[in-house]
Amino acid sequence: MDFRVLSLGDKVVFHDAGPQPFNVRAVSPDHRIVILSRPLEGGTSAEYTMIDWDKERRGVDGTNGRGFVVGSSVHGHLHRFFHGHRQDAGAEHLATQSVMTFGNWTMVSIATVNGQP
């Protein structure tokens, strides 16, 4: 799969992940790392996946389909992490709320972005 620039809010369907799209939630400044999520049944948790374009691989969140229960601030924290913003003026560390471990890496196989091949 060739590198594709993805933007916040894009809806991405992967060939190997079923028809429900993932939403782009965070993108590194160089667009090489992309974090995506999609809601799970009931809407209280989300499944996450990450694209690493340097490796041409996609990793899953390691929850075996259970997903993470997330608060509304998670996506803002991801954005600040990628862009190196501080949580506040006196913070000594980057704005990271939690660490997700991605695994089971497979080739990136995008079927559609925003409904287009």
> d(Cα 98, Cα 46) in Å, to the nearest integer?
15
- In 3D, which of 49, 52, 86 has the Cα closest to residue 67? 49
Question: Coil, helix or strand for 47?
Answer: strand
Query: What pLDDT is stored for residue 107 in this prediction?
Result: 94
CA 53 remoteness from chain centre = 13
Query: What are the pLDDT digits (tens) for 11-65?
Result: 999 999 999 999 998 888 899 999 999 988 777 778 888 999 999 999 887 666 6
Say which residue the tokens 């980057």 belong to. Answer: 94
Question: Coil, helix or strand for 78?
Answer: helix
Contact 49, 60 (CB under 8 A): yes
